[in-house]
A and B are shown apart, each in its own frame.
Chain A
Amino acid sequence: EIVLTQSPGTLSLSPGERATLSCRASQSVSRSYLAWYQQKPGQSPRLLIYGASTRATGIPDRFSGSGSGTDFTLTIGRLEPEDFAVYYCQQYGSSPPQFGQGTKVEIK
């Protein structure tokens, strides 16, 4: 079973700043089958990135994903007010397809 560890737990930033979120896997993620999701309070999760670096339909290009093997990064180029939320990574290359514990991006 692959365990995903996200860091930091909370990121305090101002609108316009750059956000860098990390997701580290306990074993190599098969074929970079790593996704990122955004969740706002009271809402369902929304897919942002899949295949480690492919943006989902309709996702702004300020969101980018990178990485391979065991180290993955979600970067938000310039934070917009609507980007303050919780972000989860998930590996889906092996069973069980676990999630990380989440990173909260909050307004500083």
Chain B
Amino acid sequence: EVQLVESGGGLVQPGGSLRLSCAASGFTFSSYWMHWVRQAPGKGLVWVSRINSDGSSTNYADSVKGRFTVSRDNAKNTLYLQMNSLRAEDTAVYYCARVGSYGLHLKYWGQGTPVTVSS
């Protein structure tokens, strides 16, 4: 069974940093692209970042470019999102998601980890 479990969320002051983790199990982690998607309270889904299977290629939404860094450790089956220079507008639930076996749609999602940026 595919499982994605996010952790690392919490309360952080504006300008602070946080690192989210997504522990993957039930599949060959090193074979799949992974994504981060966020959802502000009461709002819709917003794509944040993605990384290819070996970590050599990454993409970011304009709103987080230069502040967030996605990475992965295929030996540890873990995806990361390093978030620096956090702003109030980064407050959201952050989901990690895995693509499908035959396409880049988001087939599996974690339960999400909440991030609150506030003083």
Binding site for B on A (CB under 8 A): 33, 35, 37, 39, 44-47, 50-51, 56, 86, 88, 90, 92, 95-102
Contacts and interface: CB of A to CB of B under 8 A. Distances in A.
30 contacts: A33-B104, A33-B105, A35-B106, A37-B106, A39-B45, A44-B95, A44-B112, A45-B45, A45-B95, A47-B100, A47-B105, A47-B107, A50-B100, A50-B107, A51-B103, A51-B105, A56-B107, A88-B45, A90-B47, A90-B106, A95-B59, A96-B47, A96-B59, A97-B35, A97-B104, A99-B37, A99-B44, A99-B46, A101-B44, A102-B44
B98 to A, nearest CB: 10
Please classify the interface of chain B as helix (H, G, I), strand (E, B), loop, or mixed, using the class held by over half of its residues.
strand
Interface of B: 35, 37, 44-47, 50, 59, 61-62, 95, 100, 103-107, 109-112
A92 B107 contact: no
Contacts, number: 60
A102 B106 CA distance: 16
B83 to A, nearest CB: 18
B44 A88 contact: yes
B44 A97 contact: no
Counting chain A CB atoms within 10 Å of each CB, the highest count among B45, B103, B107 belongs to: B45
Contact of A96 (B45, B61, B103, B110): B61
